[in-house]
Amino acid sequence: MLAGFVASVGFVPVSSFAQDASCTCATAYSGVNPIGSLGHVNGDVIISQVAGYGPAKAGGALDFGSRVVVGAKGSASVQVGGCNLSVPANSTLDISRVENKICLNVLGSEQTAQTDNSNNKSNVPLLIFGGMAVGAGILAATADKDHGVSN
C-alpha cells in the first residue's frame, strides 16, 4: 500500500503542476512532436512519459508530460526548442504546456538553493526510486510460484 502511494505521488501527471510552477525556461511551441530530446545522460536517470517509465537514454524523445528524474549519482541535459538545460543530481525536470509555450521546470536541491538560499532538498527522486524498490520487493515476496495461471 505504501509503495502504491509513493509511486502515485511520484508519477502524478505533470499538467497538474503546470499552473502553480514557474518555468525555469519557456520556449515557443511550433506544433511539432516530439518537442525535444535528451542530450547526455549519466548515472541514475529515469524518464516518465505517457507510455510509462524507464531508463533514460541520450537522444530519447521528449514531449508534453515528460518527466526526467535524476538520482543522487546522475546528471542529464535536455534540448527543447530554444531551451538547453542541465538537470543535476537529485533533481526533476517537468515539461508542460502553458498557453502556446513549452514550459520546462527543474525542481531539486540545486534549484531550491538558487531561489531561496535554504537547505530544503527535493525528495522526489528518492521517493520514486524507493517506491519502485518497495513495490518490487512486495511483488517478489508475494509471488505464488507454485500456482501459476498457465497450470
Rounded to two decimals, the pTM is: 0.60
CA within 13 Å, CB half, 98: 19
Beta bridge partners of 151: none
The mean pLDDT value of the chain amounts to: 74
Q: With H, G, I as helix, E, B as strand and everything else as coil, classify residue 63.
A: coil
In angstroms, rounded to a whole number, what is the distance separating the alpha carbons of residues 79 and 59? 10
Contacts of 80 (CB under 8 A, 6+ apart): 25, 27, 35, 36, 37, 62, 95, 102, 104
Give the dihedral sign, CA 91/93/94/99.
positive
The answer to whether residues 28 and 101 touch, using CB atoms and an 8 Å cutoff, is yes
CA atoms of 31 and 36, how far apart (whole Å): 12
pLDDT at 102 over 70: yes
**Across residues 82-87, what is the average pLDDT?**
95
Of residues 51 and 124, more confidently modeled = 51
What residues pair up with 70 in beta bridges, in sequence order?
A: 45, 91
List, in order, residues 6 or more apart from 27 with CB less than 8 Å away.
80, 81, 82, 83, 101, 102, 104
- Indicate whether 47 pLDDT > 60: yes
More confident residue, 130 or 56: 56
Q: What would the pLDDT profile of 28-45 be if each residue is shown by its tens digit?
A: 999 988 999 999 999 999
Alpha helices in 11-123 (DSSP H): 15-18, 109-116
Q: Are the C-beta atoms of 91 and 113 separated by less than 8 Å?
A: no
Cell of 77: 541535459
Q: Which of these ranges, 13-17, 25-29, 108-112, has the smallest mean pLDDT?
A: 13-17
Which pLDDT value is given to residue 1?
38
